Structure formats: C-alpha cells, structure tokens
Structure 1
C-alpha cells in the first residue's frame, strides 16, 4: 500500500490520495493491520489539512445520503477524545436548542475513546435510531430535533469500529465525525481536542459557507467549560472566552459525566428537568449561547447566555426530550 509507505516515512497525503486511501478502507480493499497502521501513523504526527479534506470527501461519498427539508438547522457534534469525561454537553445543548424553537439535526455515535457518547446515552434512555428519511423528517417537524446515528449512514465503516475500540485512543475518525453528517446543516457548533484541528475545521467550514462556532478549551476540553480560556473560531473571526457571564467559577468535578452509563443518563435527565446544579447549567448555557449566535450573530453572548440559562432552569426542555425519547 503506497499510501502507508508515504505515511510511515512522515509524508503528507494529498487531498486526492487521502480520498483514495479512505475509499480503499471503506471498501475493505486493505487489511485490518494496514488500517491500524494508517490510523496510528497519522495520529502520531497529527492529521494534515489536505488529508482531513480528502478523508472527509471519501466518507461523504460512501455515506447513505439524507436530505431533510428545513430552511435552517444546526448540528452540535464534537470530536470527543479530550479524555475529560464531562456530562453529555453537546447532546443536552441539542435538546435545549430544540425546545427553544431551533431545528437540530444532530450527528453522533457511541463512545469509542470515552465512557458514554451521545448515541450511548440516547439509546439507554429509549431513543430508537432510524435511517428512514420520512421518520427523521417527522421527528424534526414535530419535535424540532432528530438524531443521525453515524453507523446507520456510514455502513462502509462497520468493520473499522472494532479496530477503533480495540485501540482505545483518539484516531482520525474522531476528527472526522463532526464533518461527515449526511445532512448538511446550515449551522454548526463543534469542538475539537486540539487547537490545530480547530483551525482546520474553521478552514473547511468556511469553504462550506456554514454559520459555525468551533471550540477548543486551552485546558484540553472540546467544549466551552469556563475552566481556563476557550478559543472560539467563528465564521466572522476568533475570540477568547475566559469567564462565565454570571462569574461562577467551575470546578472540573462539578461537570463530570459519571462513572457508568446509568449515572450519565441520570445526570442528563436531571439537567433537562431543571434539577441541574448551577455549574452544570452555567456550562450548558454557555454552549447553547454560542449555538444561538450562529443563528443570530448580532446577539451579544451575555444576552444569549441569559436566555439559555433561564430556559435550562425552567425544565421546559424535558417535554421535548419526552416527546423524542419516551
């Protein structure tokens, strides 16, 4: 495999070479050993922009297509892989936004390098994943939200999932997840485990003409947590957010996702029902506020935060959750 030789020798694949390499992986034209070698060699030195673009091209080409009818929608999907084990911030953000009237088409998967990915907790709580466009459209029309379970749309990569699980580390597929939803939303809130990857996302999302915010916490988080500064790369430029509008200091232990799927699910439903702690609500409101700004860029962050915080405390989002999952 010429691509593998190039990678082992610290070479960079062109966009077309990366596309071709991923097509071969998707079509099982190379062995599991070679796939693992590709994943580890790229992860060791970091994925390059041309490679990220080429791999993304291939995965969209291989994916089952999906065209949902909505004028504007947002995907809230981070890379994962930060190893911080926070509660399910992006999935909760999605439910809060939907209950506030925004259309959400969330792309997600089971946790691979983390305890409880978005699909893990949703499945535990009773959501039934579907690849039926009519059913997903009904959910979006009725509840303002539907979930795109990655394995149902990226069937070509079923054989890669066990390899990723066995490796137990972040791989290029973590970096690709938020870029390969089969539904191309007009808006996106996403986070990355590295600043270099965040800048690559900014370049790619600008080329898609998407209204977006890409987050990278300087303390290593792939979400806005108010623990240290968070770089926010937007359609219109960059900013640094260091403190919450309500000035509440956040301790990492206060935003933990728990030690089991059941515990994660309990935290999840407690927050939705309005019983979250002030720290949980603060972190969640910050992420919701950034998502709102992708729809309303003229709205000040502090104002969007206040709207989101009040809505989270009200527990109104639990009704959207019940209609969707129960």
Structure 2
C-alpha cells in the first residue's frame, strides 16, 4: 500500500488492515516515505483513534524488523505501564518485578528511559550499575539464576528509531506510544499492564484477546497507569472485570504525594532501594504489594488474590526481593 492510499483511507474514517499497517511501518524503516507523509498519517490516525488491527500491524512490523529473544522457560510475565500519565510516580512496576521474581515466578521486563517522569525503568536499573545487553546467553543466565531479566527497548525494537524524529516533533502522543507494552522481544505469555484511561483498557483487552495472552489490565480511576491505591481502581482480565477499592486488599488509601518519584534518578533509586530493603513508607510498600499481587494472580491463576498478596508480602519482607535485585546486578553489572 502506498502512502497516498493509506492517507485517503484513514482520512475517510476507515481503519487500515493489520497487513497494511505493518507494510507502512516496514516501509518507513526502508526510507520509503517522507517525514511529512509519516506525520500526516500518524496525526490522522490519532485524531480518529488507533484501531485494534492497526496496533497489531504495528506490532508485527516491530517484530519483523527487530531483534527477538528466546527465553529458556515456559512461563514468564512482564509488568509494565503505558506511561504518559504524567504523575511522576516512583518506579512501581519495576519494583514489583523484583517482588514477583522473589516470590518464585519468572519475570522478563521490557522498558526504556523515562519519557514523562524523572526516572523510567532503564534509568533506575542503569543507576544500579547494570549494563544493558541483547546477548541471549546473559539474558537467559539472568532469568535462570535470579528469575528476572531486563530488555532495554532500543537494543531490540529497531523500527522505533525511524519514527523517533516524528514522535519528538509532534506535540501529542501517537499510535507509537501505545506500542511499548506489546513489543517485548521475548513475547511473554503473561502480562500485567497499567493504563491511564478506560479507553486504553478496552483497546488493549481486544488486542490481548486476539493474541491469546494471559493478561491483567489495571487502571486507577483518577488516572494513574498502575494500581495507585489513591482511590478505586479497575482490573480487567480475560475472565473478569471488577472495580476494587484499597480496602478490598486490606490497605488504606494513600495520598498522591506519597507516590512521587523524586526529581532526579538518584532520588528515584533511593526510593526504589528503600522499598526492596523494606524500609520505605507504608504507602510505598503497599502500592508495590498491590501491583505484585495482581501480577502473581496472572502468572499463577490458580492462586487466589489473597494468597498472591501473601506471597508478595513474604517476598518483600523476607528479603528475597532484595536478593533477586542483588543477584541481578551481580550477573549484569558493568
């Protein structure tokens, strides 16, 4: 499909097919379209709203042009947020990864540097002296020996560098902002995803159902793309959709200021370490436990939510989550 046909189709209100969208992004990586054409197309898609087939097509293109990773275990989970909620929270999902791994479940997280907060997953992990890698042997050594591996997105999703200038030039999020959670190069069969809006929850749910992934999507009603415990939150899985309050988990509601991630990477690292060392505030600890519990309930669906919460608490309070971090640093240190 050429760009003129694609633009005419989108401007008339139609959605591109999965194959058409894939071909467009692959064409972008081959330099077939001008920056103006790409900007026009993504703007038109954004004004109409990204469709399920379009998001699947973009995902296909990223995988086709990128680097894949084969993980030597049958079942593992990724815990991730869409980002862009502009709440500047501490690294909740990354912290939860180590709690879940400390509880005995395999976690392969895909992440990047911060876009709208002071510290993204890659920032806080790199601050611990970790060297990012695409080496399969080291990645699998990490997952086998400590239960956690980290995949720094720019090493794998080669297509994204071709659209980076357009994304930077446009003053609004585009369809490419939705891709991050869907292009983990290890292709996990389980994922806990935090989204900032209920519209995104519906979109990703449709995508996951098409992909056959065991998923949980969480959204805090006040706009956090994770379980913030600042109020009620909604959880959707393949078999359940329910609204919870913090008290349903035995937690008190927390104030937004208790979730702030600091102004620098150094401050974010200190919060991160304080949680895994079990010396953080109760609010910070409980938010991580809540997200970890729902992640465990996705990767181990035979566990009840109360059992999953107990496993998360034991991982954190026993020091196993911290030991997972320390072993991960030992394997992946510079």
> Which protein, 1 or 2, shows the higher relative CO under an 8 Å CA cutoff with sep ≥ 6?
2
Distance 1:269 1:37, change over 3 A: farther
> Which residue in 1 is equivalent to 2:121?
118
Residues of 2 paired with 1:303 and 1:89: CA distance?
21
Residues of 2 paired with 1:59 and 1:303: CA distance?
37
1:148 paired to 2:151: yes
Equivalent residue in structure 2 for 1:302, among 302, 306, 319 = 306
CA contact (8 A) 2:62 2:158 kept: no
Extract unaligned runs of 5+ from structure 2: none
Counterpart secondary structure, 2:192: strand
What RMSD in Å do the two structures reach over aligned CA positions?
Answer: 1.9
Following TM superposition, by how much is the alpha carbon of 1:226 offset from its aligned partner in structure 2, in angstroms? 2.0
Following TM superposition, by how much is the alpha carbon of 1:87 offset from its aligned partner in structure 2, in angstroms? 0.9
> Which residue in 2 is equivalent to 1:101?
104
Distance 1:147 1:11, change over 3 A: same
> Which residue in 2 is equivalent to 1:35?
38
Q: For 1:166-245, what aligned pairs fall within 5 Å after superposition? A: 166-167=169-170, 169-244=172-247, 245=249
CA contact (8 A) 1:275 1:315 kept: no
Residues of 2 paired with 1:319 and 1:75: CA distance?
19
> Which residue in 1 is equivalent to 2:163?
160
> Which ranges of 4 or more aligned residues in structure 1 deviate by more than 6 Å?
none
Following TM superposition, by how much is the alpha carbon of 1:10 offset from its aligned partner in structure 2, in angstroms? 4.1
Residues of 2 paired with 1:261 and 1:160: CA distance?
26
CA contact (8 A) 2:191 2:215 kept: yes
> Which residue in 2 is equivalent to 1:266?
270
> Which residue in 1 is equivalent to 2:80?
77
Equivalent residue in structure 2 for 1:49, among 29, 40, 52 = 52
CA contact (8 A) 2:191 2:214 kept: yes
Counterpart secondary structure, 2:84: coil
> Which residue in 2 is equivalent to 1:279?
283
Distance 1:98 1:113, change over 3 A: same
Following TM superposition, by how much is the alpha carbon of 1:316 offset from its aligned partner in structure 2, in angstroms? 3.1
Counterpart secondary structure, 2:219: strand
Counterpart secondary structure, 1:98: helix
Residues of 2 paired with 1:275 and 1:27: CA distance?
51
CA contact (8 A) 2:122 2:152 kept: yes
Extract unaligned runs of 5+ from structure 1: none
Report how many aligned residue pairs link the two structures: 326
Residues of 1 paired with 2:172 and 2:124: CA distance?
20
Counterpart secondary structure, 1:77: strand
Q: 217-226 or 239-248, which moves further after superposition?
A: 239-248
Equivalent residue in structure 2 for 1:318, among 318, 322, 333 = 322
Following TM superposition, by how much is the alpha carbon of 1:166 offset from its aligned partner in structure 2, in angstroms? 4.6
Q: 140-149 or 170-179, which moves further after superposition?
A: 170-179
Following TM superposition, by how much is the alpha carbon of 1:90 offset from its aligned partner in structure 2, in angstroms? 1.1
Q: 50-59 or 154-163, which moves further after superposition?
A: 154-163
> Which residue in 2 is equivalent to 1:89?
92
1:17 paired to 2:20: yes
TM-score, normalised relative to structure 1: 0.93
Residues of 1 paired with 2:165 and 2:323: CA distance?
36
CA contact (8 A) 2:78 2:109 kept: yes
Following TM superposition, by how much is the alpha carbon of 1:227 offset from its aligned partner in structure 2, in angstroms? 2.1
